[in-house]
Amino acid sequence: MARVVLNQVTKSFANQQVVKGINLLIPDGSFTVLVGPSGCGKSTTLRMIAGLESATGGEILIGDQTVNQLPPGKRDVAMVFQNYALYPTMNVYDNIAYGLRNRGTSKKECQVLVEEIAEIVGLTQYLKRKPSQLSGGQRQRVALARAMVKKPKVFLMDEPLSNLDAKLRNQMRVELTSLHKQLGSTFIYVTHDQVEAMTMGDQIVVMSEGNIMQVAAPLELYQEPDNLFVAQFIGSPAMNIVKDEENSAVVWGFRPEKAQLLAESAAPASSIEQRVLRGTVISREILGAESLCHVETEKGRIVVKVDTEISIQMGTHVQVIVDAANIYEFDRATGKRIGKGVGRVGQHALAGGMV
């Protein structure tokens, strides 16, 4: 168990800088998720912590020790790979025991530890099988067991669930979260899937083009994005962004689930401050209980999440109404959020009062 600290860490391949001097504190025992689109440097960052890539510049600490010069096997970390990376010629037992043997653990102790871990992940009856005789989910468990058995200070996971089908992925997500609670170790988890990030992480690091865009807890990330990138990356569908007609240096945005659709003729009967966009419904996607309405407005295309029960005809002229409390403003040039910390554009009242 240990915290991980990155100080001004950079990584260049040939002439290209893929990680651009990031500073990050990953607290001891946290479940930190690095998330971002492909090519943002999240995997490279994880591989530098693992020691599989050397940092071009900066300092990496695990616990209180600088590990830049330590080989992967000496860092006391374990990693779970996307394609599991099991040793195909060894059976499950040997796969799990390999790391222990290399550290000089005695045969007897090995057996005790492997059997204990196999019990936890439910692999006891598969110990004699080769990886090729296991299902995807079982292979994933072997990969986890192989990491757990070493009792590392830090668990590193590189998109470990993306090779599983949707159902199994949901199940493993829950298992990983409870595993983290059980072990209490530091988890660093890389994914490009924001849903995975939001549901599993207690600290989320959003990355883009080799930079950290924001580090925050899931709720804060959703409610108080630091910048345009985070605002659009977190939340599905993405935040609507509209140019401001009065101030060309500013763009403003709102989440599709925080807007209302009204008929063109209806007058917005509300005393609180609102913004209104006029447009035409051009398409509709039904997700289940909710639908996404795509509205072509004078300021561009906008998505609004509405109740599926509401019937809306294509081509209807509508008004999109957004409470000022749900509006975020950003600097157009830098993408930085304007007025963070002093609340959003309007004061946010707790709907329905205190519960």
Partner 1 sequence: MLQVGRTAWKTVEWVLLAAVGLVFVFPFLWMFLTAFKTMPEVYQFPPTWWPESWQFENFRIAWSSGPFVTYVMNSILVAGGILILQFLIAVPAAYAFARYRFPGRNLLFGLSLIALMIPSQVIFLPVYVEMSHWGLVNTLWSLILPFGASAFGIFLLRQAFMQVPDEVIEAARLDSASEWKIMWTIMVPMAKPVLVTFGLFSFIYHWNDYFWPLIMTNSDSVRTLPIGISMLKAAEGGKQWNVIMAGNMILVLPILVVFFFAQRHIISAFVYQSK
**Cis status, amide bond into 131, omega within 30 of 0:** no
- Helix, strand, coil % in the chain, rounded to nearest 5: 30, 35, 40
Stretch that binds partner 1, among 44-52, 132-140, 206-214, 287-295 (CB under 8 A): 44-52
Residue 70 as a binder of partner 1 (CB under 8 A): the answer is no
What residues pair up with 205 in beta bridges, in sequence order? 34, 215
Secondary structure of residue 98 in the 3-state scheme: helix
**183 contacts 176 by C-beta, under 8 angstroms:** no
Nearer to partner 1 by C-beta: 84 or 126? Answer: 84
Q: How far apart are CA 80 and CA 98, in angstroms?
A: 15
Of 1-9, 84-92, 283-291, 340-348, the window that binds partner 1 (rule: CB under 8 A) is 84-92
User: To the nearest whole angstrom, how small is the minimum distance from the Cβ of residue 142 to partner 1?
Assistant: 11
- Looking at the Cβ atoms of 47 and 305, the one nearer to partner 1 is 47
In the complex, minimum distance from the CB of residue 51 to partner 1, in angstroms, rounded to a whole number:
8
CA proximity to 307, closest of 288, 279, 280, 282? 288
Considering only the stretches 73-81, 190-198, 284-292, 326-334, report the one whose residues sit in contact with partner 1 under the rule CB under 8 A: 73-81
> Counting contacts by CB under 8 A, is residue 99 touching partner 1?
yes
Q: Quick one: which of 15, 64, 88, 125 contacts partner 1 (CB under 8 A)?
A: 88
Shortest Cβ 71–partner 1 spacing (Å):
7
Strand partners, 318: 263, 279
Q: How many residues does the chain have?
A: 355
The residue from 35, 46, 50, 179 that contacts partner 1 (CB under 8 A) is 50
- At 310, the amino acid letter reads I
In the bound state with partner 1, the residue whose beta carbon lies nearer, of 87 and 181, is 87
Options 89, 124, 135, 236; binder of partner 1; rule CB under 8 A: 89
**DSSP of 2-58, one letter per residue?**
--EEEEEEEEEETTEEEEEEEEEEE-TT-EEEEE-STTSSHHHHHHHHHTSS--SEE
162 or 247, CB closer to partner 1? 162
Task: Work out whether 128 is an interface residue with partner 1 (CB under 8 A).
Answer: no
Span from 32-40, 74-82, 191-199, 281-289 in contact with partner 1 (CB under 8 A): 74-82
Query: Per CB under 8 A, does 139 bind partner 1?
Result: no
CB 158 to partner 1: min, Å: 9
Work out how close the CB of 233 gets to partner 1 at its nearest, in angstroms, rounded to a whole number.
27
Q: Which of 25, 52, 195, 262 binds partner 1 (CB under 8 A)?
A: 52
Residue from 74, 128, 243, 336 touching partner 1 (CB under 8 A): that is: 74
Cβ distance to partner 1 smaller for residue 50 or 304: 50
Q: Is the dihedral of CA 137, 176, 120, 93 positive or negative?
A: positive
Round to whole Å and give the CA distance between 326 and 348: 8
Q: What angle do CA 209, 240, 223 make, to 5 degrees?
A: 75
Residue type, 127: L
Tell me: does residue 150 bind partner 1 (CB under 8 A): yes
What CA–CA distances, in Å, run from 259 to 65, 125, 274, 277?
50, 53, 10, 10
Which residues lie near partner 1 (CB under 8 A)? Answer: 50-52, 71-74, 77-79, 81-83, 85-90, 98-99, 102-103, 146, 150
